[in-house]
């Protein structure tokens, strides 16, 4: 029976005094209960929540966003008060276990205990909720105290949401399912808040990292799958060894408690003639898998060896005759053989996934391996993945039910849709078609859910959360970076940082968690730390445009434009590619090299707000205003407004000199708790308004918020001992 861990908000609600209502007027009580449930079923999905279970006159629901949970609770209380329904609400954010259609854990129990303290019309919440949403200006909280609940180890601070339409219990008279109430913290202890926050979060499982991690013996299980060697004289067989290596790497990555070194890193070891001991020390792994594929005449042999590095002992070795066994069967035997030999507490679901036959056609599988050999997750354009697409389409032509081939095609087309200048809608249509087909054929593949979730989030921010969480249920290493991206975009910095760290904890050999940590540091103006992490990743061989672009942005932040250009020349795709032209255009725009920047934008055929700013600064005010207005119209036409549209509009109006309108959008961003992008202080769009008092006050408020987050992030990261 499968289960997964989640970081989510648990919400308990119940009708106060329902038993008495039933005794007084059973019919009226049942009508009230129907209204109560109807409100829940209408409102909770609107806030991306999920009803887990009804308990008579009560209900348990979960949300993947603390802010959406609080917003939903406020909307529900408003409706219940209009209907004279005496309902109380309790909220807690923390780690929980989801098993089929139910949830378990301390987080659920704590939410239940908090709800028991409430009175009709109240919304009570833990400090974990408050810490996540306290930067929202329209939310006010009143501390009720610190309480020791039954069957909960550590005391929990409980707050009441304070508003004119909400009620608050008297802190001195509050009752509930707790053993004793502790006094409020002395003001002399305020300097301890960051430390106490870390200790409290770790103790109650809110941080979700240590409690989510497997036992120590499982955490220490890590493996490097070295590129299989083609010993055949036929170099055309290289795809076989490379594709087989990639598939074994992918299959082993499904095991939650096993850290698998990225193929990007292991590929760099080819030709270095390093010993296994040197490789194990460099990559910090416990096991090494290596193998050979040799075709001699009509016969092909596959040999695999698994070495335990603590005593340099060969613990598993197998030879497969690929004339008697097809590649699919060999891949399954290798993956399951390794899983059985390593000291892993592997779930039934994980093991079943390793045993699953991906296709009935060995030839289709060969084309799939060829696709894996040619595919690069960091290369996004269709031209760059033309060979991959051809192989995948051939695989599907041989087996129309090959779910993994459809899933990979979905990923290829989605990656291409995100490029500058790409036809997003057309490419997304193809991507969604392949993703939905993959799910139809195999609903247990996580990647198609991520593809669809990313598209949904682009169209309507937040609508992809359930899909990311679904992917994470299927594979505990999947969907975490996408959840990080969502919370970062919504300004929930701590929650975003937690998902980045959770990605590192569950998938420590992947670069994505470290990218999230670096981006978080950049967002809170801690540029040196962000640069340090990104430079480390590039040094490790992760030279994707995404990582390079992040490092370039950090160089913008600290005024190192020469470093940015050097980085583009060294790592980025060619200057005459879409990505290269875009990067050079932005770099020269931020350097205020207007004429040179214009050349790159014209080659991109980019006639948006950046080109308008160039026209404005080169004496072409009329054409600049026309371009600005067109850019404004495009952003206002988008039905669902995310933070990036408001940011763009504030920048445009600042450049046009319409400062009051600019301030209106900045105020909207401020009200939403947005921290604005990290390079606002260097943005040329704000040059005309930079010295205005009101703009400086806005920047000061943002800086103050970032400083608060910086202290928390630094304290939390310090406890994690990240090896960078």
Look at residue 166 and tell me if it is in a domain.
yes
13 has pLDDT over 90: yes
160 and 27 belong to one structural domain: yes
Q: What percent of the chain is modeled with pLDDT above 70?
A: 85
Which residue, of 357, 382, 409, is where some domain finishes? 357
For the stretch 574-620, pLDDT in tens is 555 666 777 788 888 988 999 999 998 888 777 889 999 999 999 99
DSSP string, 348-384: HHHHHHHH----S-HHHHHHHHHHHHH--TT--STTT
pLDDT band at 431; cut points 50, 70, 90: very high
Distance CA 490, CA 680 (A): 17
Closest of 351, 341, 279 to residue 305, by C-alpha: 341
Mean pLDDT for 650-673 is 90
Q: What is the reported pLDDT for 678?
A: 63
Look at residue 628 and tell me if it is in a domain.
yes
286 and 197 belong to one structural domain: no
Can you give the residue range of the structural domain that contains 636? 607-724
Look at residue 551 and tell me if it is in a domain.
no
Distance CA 44, CA 38 (A): 10
Look at residue 614 and tell me if it is in a domain.
yes
The residue written with tokens 């409430």 in the block is: 118
147 and 237 belong to one structural domain: no
Distance CA 89, CA 44 (A): 13
Asked if residues 157 and 145 have their Cβ atoms less than 8 Å apart, the reply is yes
Q: What is the reported pLDDT for 711?
A: 78
Q: What is the reported pLDDT for 489?
A: 74
Hey, how many other C-beta atoms are within 10 angstroms of the C-beta on 196? 16
Which residue, of 182, 204, 226, is where some domain finishes? 204
pLDDT band at 194; cut points 50, 70, 90: very low
For the stretch 449-458, pLDDT in tens is 999 999 988 7
Look at residue 300 and tell me if it is in a domain.
yes
By the 10 Å C-beta count (0-12 exposed, 13-18 middle, 19+ buried), 188 is classed as exposed
269 and 127 belong to one structural domain: no
128 and 22 belong to one structural domain: yes
Cα–Cα distance list, 24 to 27, 442, 619, 717 (Å): 9, 53, 79, 56
pLDDT band at 708; cut points 50, 70, 90: confident
Total domains, the chain: 3
Quick one: the chain helix, strand, coil %, rounded to 5?
55, 15, 30
pLDDT band at 572; cut points 50, 70, 90: low
Asked if residues 551 and 538 have their Cβ atoms less than 8 Å apart, the reply is yes
DSSP secondary-structure letter at 183?
P
pLDDT band at 720; cut points 50, 70, 90: low
Mean pLDDT for 366-382 is 77
Would you state the torsion angle of the CA atoms of residues 340, 265, 309, 294, taken in this order, to the nearest 10 degrees? Answer: 70
576 is written with which tokens? 């005459």
67 and 197 belong to one structural domain: yes
Q: Give the 3-state secondary structure of residue 229.
A: strand
186 and 267 belong to one structural domain: no
Q: What CATH number is attached to the domain comprising 315?
A: 3.40.50.10070
Distance CA 560, CA 257 (A): 41
Between strands 49-55 and 58-63, the pairing is antiparallel
List 95's β-bridge partners, or say none: 7
Q: Which helix (H) or strand (E) holds 102?
A: strand 102-104
Question: Phi/psi zone of residue 624: left (φ > 0), alpha (ψ -120 to 50 degrees), beta?
Answer: alpha
Asked if residues 380 and 415 have their Cβ atoms less than 8 Å apart, the reply is yes
What is the maximal distance between C-alpha atoms in the chain? 90
Q: Of 522 and 616, which is predicted with more confidence?
A: 616
Distance CA 343, CA 322 (A): 29
Closest of 194, 198, 200 to residue 711, by C-alpha: 194
Distance CA 653, CA 665 (A): 9
Q: Of 346 and 206, which is predicted with more confidence?
A: 346
CA-angle at 251, arms to 246 and 256, nearest 5°: 130
654 has pLDDT over 90: yes
For the stretch 291-303, pLDDT in tens is 888 876 667 788 8
Look at residue 619 and tell me if it is in a domain.
yes
Q: Give the 3-state secondary structure of residue 207.
A: coil
227 and 126 belong to one structural domain: no
Asked if residues 226 and 288 have their Cβ atoms less than 8 Å apart, the reply is yes
Convert 391-419 into a string of H (helix), E (strand) and C (coil).
HHHHHHHHCCCCHHHHHHHHHHHHHHHCC
12 and 159 belong to one structural domain: yes
97 and 133 belong to one structural domain: yes
68 and 186 belong to one structural domain: yes
193 and 231 belong to one structural domain: no
658 has pLDDT over 90: yes
Asked if residues 281 and 301 have their Cβ atoms less than 8 Å apart, the reply is no
Look at residue 255 and tell me if it is in a domain.
yes
pLDDT band at 185; cut points 50, 70, 90: very low
The residue written with tokens 């929202």 in the block is: 136
Look at residue 516 and tell me if it is in a domain.
no
Mean pLDDT for 211-226 is 56
Query: Which range, 68-72, 175-179, 187-191, 331-335, is most confident?
Result: 68-72
Which residue, of 313, 335, 357, is where some domain finishes? 357
pLDDT band at 151; cut points 50, 70, 90: low
Asked if residues 421 and 605 have their Cβ atoms less than 8 Å apart, the reply is yes
Distance CA 262, CA 509 (A): 6
For the stretch 99-131, pLDDT in tens is 777 787 778 888 888 998 899 999 999 988 988
């Amino acid at each position: 029976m499968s289960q997964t861990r989640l970081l989510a908000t648990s919400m308990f609600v119940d009708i106060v005094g329902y038993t008495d209502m039933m005794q007084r007027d059973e019919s009226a009580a049942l009508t009230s209960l129907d209204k109560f449930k109807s409100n829940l079923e209408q409102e909770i999905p609107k806030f991306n929540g999920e009803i887990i279970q009804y308990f008579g006159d009560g209900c348990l629901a979960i949300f993947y966003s603390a802010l959406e949970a609080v917003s939903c609770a406020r909307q529900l209380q408003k409706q219940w008060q209009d209907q004279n329904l005496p309902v109380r609400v309790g909220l807690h954010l923390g780690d929980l276990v989801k098993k089929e259609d139910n949830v378990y854990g301390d987080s659920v129990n704590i939410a239940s205990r908090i709800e028991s303290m409430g009175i009709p019309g109240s919304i009570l919440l833990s400090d974990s909720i408050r810490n996540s949403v306290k930067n929202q200006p329209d939310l006010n909280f009143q501390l009720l105290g610190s309480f020791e609940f039954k069957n909960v180890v550590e005391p929990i601070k409980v707050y009441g949401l304070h508003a004119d339409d909400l009620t608050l219990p008297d802190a001195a008279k509050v009752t509930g399912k707790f053993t004793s109430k502790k006094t409020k913290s002395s003001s002399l202890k305020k300097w301890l808040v960051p430390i106490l926050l870390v200790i409290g979060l770790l103790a109650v499982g809110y941080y979700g990292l240590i409690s989510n991690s497997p036992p120590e013996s499982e955490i220490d299980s890590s493996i490097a799958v070295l590129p299989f060697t083609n010993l055949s004289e036929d170099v055309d067989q290289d795809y076989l060894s490379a594709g087989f290596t990639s598939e074994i790497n992918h299959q082993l990555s499904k095991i939650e408690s096993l850290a698998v070194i990225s193929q990007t890193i292991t590929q760099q070891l080819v030709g270095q003639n390093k010993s296994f001991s040197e490789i194990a020390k460099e990559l910090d792994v416990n096991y090494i898998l290596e193998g050979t594929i040799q075709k001699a005449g009509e016969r092909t042999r596959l040999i695999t060896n698994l070495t335990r590095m603590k005593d340099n002992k060969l613990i598993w070795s197998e030879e497969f005759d690929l004339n008697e066994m097809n590649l699919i069967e060999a891949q399954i035997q290798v993956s399951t053989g390794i899983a059985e030999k390593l000291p892993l507490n592997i779930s039934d679901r994980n093991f079943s996934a390793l045993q699953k036959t991906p296709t009935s056609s060995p030839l289709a599988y060969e084309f799939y391996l060829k696709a894996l050999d040619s595919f690069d997750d960091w290369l996004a354009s269709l031209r760059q993945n033309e060979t991959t697409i051809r192989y995948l389409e051939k695989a599907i032509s041989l087996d129309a039910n090959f779910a993994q081939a459809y899933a990979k095609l979905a990923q290829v087309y989605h990656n291409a849709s995100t490029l500058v200048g790409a036809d997003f809608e057309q490419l997304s249509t193809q991507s969604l078609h392949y993703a939905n087909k993959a799910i139809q054929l195999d609903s247990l593949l996580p990647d198609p859910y991520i593809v669809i979730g990313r598209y949904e989030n682009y169209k309507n921010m937040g609508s992809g959360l359930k899909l990311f969480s679904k992917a994470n249920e299927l594979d505990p290493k999947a969907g975490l970076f996408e959840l990080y991206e969502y919370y970062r975009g919504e300004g929930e910095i701590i929650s975003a940082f937690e998902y980045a760290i959770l990605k590192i904890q569950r998938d420590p050999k992947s670069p994505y968690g470290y990218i999230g940590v670096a981006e978080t540091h950049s967002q809170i103006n801690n540029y040196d730390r962000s640069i340090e992490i990104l430079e480390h990743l590039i040094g490790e061989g992760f030279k994707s445009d995404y990582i390079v672009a992040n490092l370039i942005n950090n160089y913008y932040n600290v005024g190192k434009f020469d470093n940015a250009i050097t980085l583009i020349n060294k790592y980025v795709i060619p200057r005459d590619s879409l990505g290269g032209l875009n990067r050079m255009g932005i770099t020269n725009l931020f350097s205020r090299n207007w004429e040179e920047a214009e050349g790159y934008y014209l080659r991109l055929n980019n006639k948006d707000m950046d080109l308008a700013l160039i026209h404005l600064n080169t004496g072409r005010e009329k054409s600049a205003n026309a371009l600005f207005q067109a850019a404004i119209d495009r952003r206002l036409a988008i039905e669902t407004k995310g933070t990036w549209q408001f940011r763009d509009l504030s920048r445009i109006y600042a450049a046009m000199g319409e400062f009051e309108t600019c301030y209106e959008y900045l105020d909207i961003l401020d009200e939403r708790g947005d921290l604005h992008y990290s390079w606002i202080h260097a943005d040329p769009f704000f040059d005309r308004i930079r010295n205005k008092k009101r703009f400086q006050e806005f920047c000061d408020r943002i800086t103050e918020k970032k400083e608060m987050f910086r202290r928390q992030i630094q304290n939390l990261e310090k406890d994690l001992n990240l090896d960078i």
